[in-house]
Structure 1
Amino acid sequence: MNVKENKSKSVDPQTERYERGWEQLKKIDGEAGERVIQSLQEVAPDLGRYVIEFAFGDIYSREGLSLQQRQLVTLSSLTTQGGCEPQLTVHLNAALNVGLSTREIVEAIMHCAPYTGFPRVLNAIQTAKRVFEERNLV
């Protein structure tokens, strides 16, 4: 095989990263994740690509933590930041999609209270309650 043939068979790392990220996004967030990316297409399509490539293609695809563990970290981070209820809603659904129970989710959010305070934890619990109700889990 000559060099020209070899180059034509190489995989573009950016394409591979995007495809890996897209598969992770669909597995974790399902239709909700796809809707988030679609909502960015008119105003900030590059941001959607960054979410797919970086967050899901690079970070969520790493070894070392299960998808459940990654969602617990994500829920905790969004809870402690506060003001992230739309993203928290997406990741609450993702946590359920990857097999976390409602009890595990509530415990993870409650665990944030001594570190971030009651107002943010109460907001996150109310967001979780809405997600659980939408999915007929309460």
Structure 2
Amino acid sequence: MNLTRFEKGLKKLSEVDGNAGENVIAALNDIAPDLGKYIVEFAFGDIYCRENLNLQEREMITLSSLMTLGGCETQLEVHINGALNVGITPKKIIEIFIQCIPYTGFPRVLNAVGVAKRVFQLRKAG
């Protein structure tokens, strides 16, 4: 059976984020439903479904990209959870951020580590 881009993307999104991805899409439905559709179809249906990189590699790239951009704390939180969901350890997540210090500087890395600390604590408590 051939899946639509949306179905394919939703399947991949749930591999990464479990129900959290669907919650993000649902939250957009009343204000920007097309945005949720674009995220699912393009980011997860087209990009995340490509061959040659596994989900751990994709999440490591995503974490370093979001951290480098700065000001992406909400998305960083989502993808730290996603990284944990696909088997990246908390230690490795912190190491990804430390690797970026020479290229992005301490402030962005410190912000990312702060987000990671909150995510780790929430997951431990939950």
TM-score range, shorter chain: over 0.9
Structure 1-normalised TM-score? 0.87
Q: Distance in 2 between matches of 1:20 and 1:133?
A: 32
Counterparts of 1:112 and 1:41 in 2: how far apart (Å)? 35
Within 5 Å, give how 1:45-124 maps onto structure 2: 45-124=33-112
Q: Which stretches of structure 1, 4 residues or more, deviate above 4 A after TM superposition?
A: none
Q: Give how far 1:33 is off.
A: 1.0
Amino acid in the other structure paired with 2:51: E
Measure how far apart 1:58 and its partner are: 0.2
Q: Could you tell me which of 11, 16, 24 is aligned with 2:4?
A: 16
Distance 1:33 1:76 in 2: 20
Give the alignment's TM-score, normalised by structure 2: 0.95
Q: Could you tell me which runs of 5 or more consecutive residues in structure 1 were left unpaired when the two chains were aligned.
A: 1-9
Q: Counterpart amino acid of 2:5?
A: R
Cα distance in 2 for partners of 1:113, 1:19 equals 38
